[in-house]
């Protein structure tokens, strides 16, 4: 992290050692079905095979991809759902977030966060190749899944039942992103893409840096070194009187210094409306696997991708009690640049022992511009006056991951090779280990808000005049840095035991992870209180030009907002040991018992980096040792407990289908508040777009999970599964509305009293060849979920309208249908995919205000692929064919004993098309 204020050494207290890994990789080729075939073939025959195994598989039947996933589903002792790379490519989803919504019981919120079985992102964990990695999101501990392109994915696994070899923070499910592995044959592939959105023709822009194409503005918007030094020199107070007192100069000279410091800010902020650019992208992948004379294998895979997209969205918000007079209209434009790089390396000693490494770099940057015209109860439309707000936000998110993983199995021949025959009774013993070092940062070098007073046409609401407000905070400038460092590590040992008709295994292991976080925000105000009204009527670029800012007659001033009290420091450490016993009787009955002991330590400290008079992290003198110790005991949270899991499976053949499994599982787990939620500062929630205050008193939730799943696997690769589940949550962590001024909305993190979730999931895969041989190119795959959720609010929330309500973000019904076609000659394939969710609670009201509900949304997408040969692919996709919009409604009383629904939020989503071509060599 770049420490803006080097006088503090607090970062040293929270540093985490960083592993330097020279080589890195994604999952090794031994996990690929294609490679297991190669092991049984002579080396020359392997060399003669057609290259690009992964690509030719995509050209095969969709059922083939589903079959490979079905094998892993059958072997797991609990319920889990999977999406493989072939399926994702088939439907054309470009990010992990959009792909996951195809799974049963998984809903997508804000295009980046997934809800699993009705539980929000805080109840669902995300891992990368089984390891914990940090989130570059300012408001969430969980990773925003829209930053992961599906091009790096081998498969996605959503485990919905807890097992003791997982971290105990488990609610709805665990999402594991498994990255692509070393290819089994030489690979070199280039892909190019174009796209556009129907609603992005009108695009808002302002002048920026010529380096923005690479997701970094090169410091163009950042807080200048001159301003940084001045903040330190003047001890966090840039007021002219303080400058005068510290420098011993005249007030006029101090005012001039203040204006010179103001001129260091980025002030070229005139917004213009322009045409948007086409989406464009390019990716390159190269790799190979080498077979050595001694039977060993080494391989690598390298990939690099670049994507650029522009999106505009119109949004209307209304106050339910006065929708025609109090409302807002906004246009938001986002220019996104994404760079992803991965490099992999793997070494296999033999078929049972391998070491793999993984490195991943993601940079995802949004340059956001938004204009909002609005009216509130103080300035209703009929008054002819209103407000305008211009928002400028440049946000760069970056994630770097380095991982190493080993897998080892020893048999009799291994022991005999080293003269250890006496250990033959351990034959089949296996061990896995991993270490992951990762860091993420979010840098917002510029977040600017400028407020205006407006005169409007009372009929059309068209803005006739706009003038910058005269206020101490006329223009708000924020500079934000979030830095996370995470180490994740673990090992396990498993010993198989055979006794008569019983196949058993005993497994044990250790896992842990630790994270340190620094969140620093500097806020500066441009004071326009004494600026002449005639100047404030100009455009902001003219108002804040050098000529006007440096002119003493205009009396511009710059000030620091407080002590940066929204900044904080935090750290987490988790360590755990687990054991698991698995017994299988004649492949008919299987019982798995697991126990996990886990210790959790967390500390979140408010940090005032501009407090020059006393401790920056203590509200009193650190010389008071006893009080200091008591304070750290108060802000440090330590929990440890034992969590159990039980899974029972019944397996048989020829019960309706070739293979049948009935699984029952029970577990008890926990869900903990994230670092941001425990900090005393506030943040803007990206889903509700309201200000949220943290709460250090929030407690962890306890969850009981019960699952029952029946699965049929047919000989023709058709599948059917039916699941029933129930969750009971003690002290659920939820977002509750809190008091706020005027018509503003604020919220606070609190514990509810209890929550219950029950549901049914149905998933199927059906080929049409059973109906007629000419229909064999067609198939239908789908899933549907029914949820019943109930939250008992309890006493912590402030005057909730409803003491009992559904969980936020949970849809009662959701589902997917995928209708596919593969031509007999293998040259064409097409997919029509439908995704639906029903009404879901968006935000709960208070003081009699009705709850707000997001309305049902149906997405229909079409993808067509053309394969003229084994090396070239053309793919065309159209999304949101039905042209659905996002709507949120709220009930209001008509005054006659009845109610009506008011659309309080409406955002135009638009239709998107894309065209990609790929060439393999």
18 has pLDDT over 50: no
Contacts of 613 (CB under 8 A, 6+ apart): none
Contacts of 345 (CB under 8 A, 6+ apart): 23, 24, 25, 182, 298, 299, 300, 356, 357
CA–CA gap between residue 145 and residue 137 (Å, rounded): 10
* Residue 72 host element (H or E): helix 62-75
61 has pLDDT over 70: no
Q: Under DSSP, is residue 610 helix (H, G, I), strand (E, B) or coil?
A: coil
Pick from 676, 669, 685, 668: which is nearest to 602 by CA? 676
Q: How confident is the prediction for the chain on average, in pLDDT?
A: 87
265 has pLDDT over 50: yes
2 has pLDDT over 60: no
3 has pLDDT over 80: no
70 confidence band (pLDDT: 50, 70, 90) = low
214-247 as b/e: b if 16+ CB within 10 A = ebbbeebbbbeeebbebbbebebbbbbebbbeee
* Residue 415 host element (H or E): helix 412-417
Average pLDDT in the 742-755 region? 84
59 has pLDDT over 70: no
Strand partners, 589: 585, 650
Average pLDDT in the 500-512 region? 96
Cβ-based neighbour number of residue 204 at 10 Å? 21
- Are 622 and 577 in contact by the 8 Å Cβ rule? The answer is no
Tell me, what's the pLDDT at 514?
96
- Which sign, positive or negative, has the C-alpha torsion 461, 463, 469, 474? positive
Highest mean pLDDT among 86-95, 248-257, 680-689, 710-719: 248-257
pLDDT greater at residue 635 or residue 565:
635
729: exposed, middle or buried (Cβ count in 10 Å: 0-12, 13-18, 19+): buried
752-765 as b/e: b if 16+ CB within 10 A = bbbbbbbbbbebbb
Q: What is the distance, to the nearest Å, from the Cα of residue 752 to the centroid of all Cα atoms in its chain? A: 25
In SS3 terms, 333-392 reads as: EEEEEEEEEEEEEEEEEECCEEEEEEEEEEEEEEEEEEEEEECECCECHHHCEEEEEEEE
Cβ-based neighbour number of residue 12 at 10 Å? 8
Place of tokens 């425990």: 678
552-569 as b/e: b if 16+ CB within 10 A = eebebbbbbbebbbbbbb
Convert the pLDDT of each residue in 665-702 to its tens digit: 999 999 998 877 877 667 777 667 788 888 888 899 99
Q: Under DSSP, is residue 823 helix (H, G, I), strand (E, B) or coil?
A: coil
Phi, psi dihedral angles at 856 (to 5 degrees): -55, 145
What angle in degrees, to the nearest 10, is found between the helix axes of 251-262 and 240-247?
120
Tokens of 444: 């917002």
Tell me, what's the pLDDT at 224?
92
Side-chain-facing half-sphere of 151: CA atoms under 13 Å: 29
Tell me, what's the pLDDT at 55?
32
Q: What is the pTM of this model?
A: 0.86
CA–CA gap between residue 507 and residue 510 (Å, rounded): 11
Tell me, what's the pLDDT at 32?
37
Place of tokens 């899991």: 645
DSSP string, 160-198: -S--TTS-SB-SSEEEEEEE----SS-EEEEEEEEEEET
539 has pLDDT over 90: yes
CA–CA gap between residue 830 and residue 827 (Å, rounded): 11
Strand partners, 506: 495, 581
Tell me, what's the pLDDT at 680?
66
CA–CA gap between residue 53 and residue 766 (Å, rounded): 25
Contacts of 488 (CB under 8 A, 6+ apart): 131, 132, 133, 434, 435, 436, 438, 511, 512, 513
Average pLDDT in the 103-131 region? 84
Tell me, what's the pLDDT at 198?
93
Contacts of 136 (CB under 8 A, 6+ apart): 143, 144, 147, 364, 397, 398, 399, 440, 441, 442, 482, 484
Tell me, what's the pLDDT at 146?
85
Average pLDDT in the 115-125 region? 84
775 has pLDDT over 60: yes
717 confidence band (pLDDT: 50, 70, 90) = confident
Pick from 643, 771, 747, 616: which is nearest to 689 by CA? 747
Tell me, what's the pLDDT at 435?
97
366 confidence band (pLDDT: 50, 70, 90) = very high
Tell me, what's the pLDDT at 678?
79
Cβ-based neighbour number of residue 675 at 10 Å? 23
Average pLDDT in the 350-370 region? 94
Side-chain-facing half-sphere of 180: CA atoms under 13 Å: 27
CA–CA gap between residue 184 and residue 179 (Å, rounded): 15
Convert the pLDDT of each residue in 152-211 to its tens digit: 899 899 999 999 999 999 998 999 999 998 998 899 999 999 999 998 888 999 999 888
For the ranges 375-389, 466-480, 640-654, 763-777, which has the lowest average pLDDT? 763-777
742 has pLDDT over 80: no
904 has pLDDT over 50: yes
Q: Under DSSP, is residue 240 helix (H, G, I), strand (E, B) or coil?
A: helix
Convert the pLDDT of each residue in 637-651 to its tens digit: 899 999 999 999 999
Would you give the end-to-end CA distance of the chain in angstroms? 42
Q: How far are the Cα atoms of 220, 266, 511, 611 from residue 257, in angstroms, in the given order?
A: 22, 17, 55, 22
Place of tokens 């690479």: 214
- Are 185 and 53 in contact by the 8 Å Cβ rule? The answer is yes
- Are 664 and 130 in contact by the 8 Å Cβ rule? The answer is no
Longest dimension (CA), the chain: 96
DSSP string, 92-152: T--BHHHHHTTSTTEEEETTTEEEETTB-GGGEEEEETTEE-----TT-SSPPGGGSBGGG
CA–CA gap between residue 437 and residue 132 (Å, rounded): 9
385 has pLDDT over 90: yes
Contacts of 845 (CB under 8 A, 6+ apart): 737, 800, 801, 802, 851, 852, 890
625 has pLDDT over 90: no
Query: Pairing mode, if any, of strands 657-671 and 682-684?
Result: unpaired
Tell me, what's the pLDDT at 210?
87
- Are 484 and 134 in contact by the 8 Å Cβ rule? The answer is yes
CA–CA gap between residue 548 and residue 532 (Å, rounded): 11
Place of tokens 């206020």: 471
Average pLDDT in the 507-527 region? 94
Contacts of 155 (CB under 8 A, 6+ apart): 69, 82, 83, 84, 85, 178
99 confidence band (pLDDT: 50, 70, 90) = confident
Place of tokens 């699993």: 116
For the ranges 579-583, 703-707, 841-845, which has the lowest average pLDDT? 841-845
Convert the pLDDT of each residue in 781-807 to its tens digit: 999 999 999 999 998 888 899 999 999
CA–CA gap between residue 876 and residue 862 (Å, rounded): 8
466-480 as b/e: b if 16+ CB within 10 A = bbbbeeebbbbbbbb
- Are 374 and 394 in contact by the 8 Å Cβ rule? The answer is no
98 has pLDDT over 90: no
877: exposed, middle or buried (Cβ count in 10 Å: 0-12, 13-18, 19+): buried
């Amino acid at each position: 992290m770049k420490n803006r204020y080097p006088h503090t050494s607090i970062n040293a207290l929270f540093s985490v050692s960083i592993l330097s890994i020279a080589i890195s990789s994604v999952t090794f080729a031994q996990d690929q079905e294609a490679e297991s075939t190669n092991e049984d073939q002579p080396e020359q025959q392997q060399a003669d095979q057609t290259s690009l195994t992964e690509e030719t598989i995509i050209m095969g039947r969709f059922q083939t991809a589903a079959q490979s996933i079905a094998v892993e589903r059958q072997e797991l002792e609990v319920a889990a759902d999977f999406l493989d790379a072939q399926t994702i490519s088939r439907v054309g989803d470009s990010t992990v977030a959009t792909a996951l919504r195809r799974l049963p019981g998984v809903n997508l919120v804000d295009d980046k966060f997934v809800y699993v079985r009705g539980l929000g992102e805080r109840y669902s964990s995300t891992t990368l190749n089984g390891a914990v990695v940090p989130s570059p999101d300012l408001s969430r501990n969980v990773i925003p899944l829209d930053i992961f392109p599906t091009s790096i994915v081998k498969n996605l696994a959503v485990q919905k039942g807890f097992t003791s070899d997982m971290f105990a923070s488990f609610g709805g499910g665990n999402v594991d992103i498994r990255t692509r592995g070393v290819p089994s044959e030489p690979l070199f592939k280039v892909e190019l893409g174009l796209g556009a959105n129907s609603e992005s023709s009108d695009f808002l822009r302002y002048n920026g840096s010529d380096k923005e194409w690479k997701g970094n503005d090169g410091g163009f918007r950042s807080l200048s070194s001159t301003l940084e030094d001045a903040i330190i020199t003047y001890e966090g107070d840039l007021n002219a009187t303080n400058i005068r007192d510290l420098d011993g100069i005249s007030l006029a000279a101090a005012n001039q210094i203040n204006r010179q410091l103001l001129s260091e800010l980025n002030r070229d902020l005139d917004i213009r409306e322009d045409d948007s650019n086409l989406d464009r992208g390019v990716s390159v992948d190269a790799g190979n696997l080498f077979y050595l004379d001694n039977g060993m294998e080494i391989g690598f895979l390298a990939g690099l991708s670049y994507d650029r997209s522009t999106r505009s969205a119109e949004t209307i918000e209304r106050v339910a009690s006065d929708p025609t007079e109090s409302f807002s209209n906004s246009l938001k434009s986002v220019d996104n640049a994404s760079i992803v790089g991965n490099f992999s390396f793997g070494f296999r000693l033999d078929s049972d022992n391998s070491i793999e490494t993984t490195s991943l770099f993601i940079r995802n940057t949004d340059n956001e511009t938004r204009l909002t015209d609005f009216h509130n109860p103080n300035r209703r439309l009929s008054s002819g006056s209103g407000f305008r707000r211009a928002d400028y936000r440049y946000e760069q998110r970056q994630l770097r991951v380095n991982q190493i993983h080993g897998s080892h199995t020893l048999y009799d021949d291994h022991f005999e090779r080293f003269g250890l025959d006496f250990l033959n009774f351990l034959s089949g013993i296996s061990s896995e280990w991993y270490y992951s070092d990762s860091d993420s940062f979010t840098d917002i070098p510029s977040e600017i808000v400028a407020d205006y007073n407006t005169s409007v046409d009372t009929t059309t609401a068209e803005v006739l005049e706009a003038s910058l407000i005269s206020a101490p905070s006329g223009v708000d400038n924020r500079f934000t840095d979030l830095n996370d460092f995470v180490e994740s590590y673990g090992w396990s040992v498993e010993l198989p035991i055979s006794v008569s008709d019983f196949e058993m295994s005993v497994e044990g292991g250790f896992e842990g992870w630790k994270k340190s976080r620094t969140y620093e925000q500097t806020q500066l105000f441009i004071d326009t209180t004494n600026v002449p009204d005639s100047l404030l009527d100009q455009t902001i670029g003219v108002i804040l030009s050098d000529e006007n800012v440096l002119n003493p007659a205009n009396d511009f001033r710059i000030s620091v907002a407080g002590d940066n009290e929204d900044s904080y420091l935090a750290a987490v450490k988790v360590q755990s040991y687990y054991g698991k016993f698995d017994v299988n009787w004649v492949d008919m009955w299987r019982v798995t018992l697991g126990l996990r002991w886990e210790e959790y330590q967390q500390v979140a400290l408010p940090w005032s980096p501009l407090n020059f008079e006393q401790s920056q992290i203590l509200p009193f003198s650190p010389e008071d040792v006893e009080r200091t110790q008591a304070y750290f005991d108060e802000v440090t949270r330590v929990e440890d407990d034992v969590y159990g899991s039980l899974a029972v499976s019944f397996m048989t053949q020829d019960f309706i289908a070739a293979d049948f499994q009935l699984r029952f599982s029970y577990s008890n787990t926990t869900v903990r508040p994230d670092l941001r939620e425990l900090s005393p500062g506030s943040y803007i929630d990206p889903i509700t777009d309201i200000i949220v205050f943290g709460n250090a008193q929030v407690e962890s939730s306890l969850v009981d999970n019960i699952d029952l799943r029946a699965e049929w696997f047919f000989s023709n690769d058709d599948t059917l599964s039916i699941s029933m589940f129930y969750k009971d949550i003690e002290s659920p962590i939820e977002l509750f509305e809190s008091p706020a001024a005027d018509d503003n909305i604020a919220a606070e993190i609190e514990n509810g009293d209890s929550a219950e979730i029950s549901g049914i999931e149905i998933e199927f895969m059906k080929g049409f060849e059973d109906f007629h041989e000419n229909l064999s190119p067609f198939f239908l795959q789908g899933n549907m979920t029914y949820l019943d959720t109930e939250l008992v609010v309890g006493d912590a929330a402030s005057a909730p309208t409803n003491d009992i309500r559904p969980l936020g973000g949970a849809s009662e019904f959701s589902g997917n249908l995928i209708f596919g076609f593969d031509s007999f000659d293998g040259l064409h394939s097409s997919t029509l995919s439908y995704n639906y969710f029903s009404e879901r609670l968006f935000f709960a009201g208070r003081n009699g205000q009705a709850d707000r509900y997001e309305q049902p949304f149906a997405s229909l997408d079409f993808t067509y692929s053309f394969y003229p040969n084994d090396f070239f692919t053309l793919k065309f996709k159209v999304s949101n064919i039905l042209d659905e919009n996002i709507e949120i409604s709220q009930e209001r009383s008509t005054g006659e004993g009845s109610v009506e629904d008011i659309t309080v939020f409406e955002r135009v989503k638009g239709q998107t098309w894309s065209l990609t071509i790929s060439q393999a060599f």
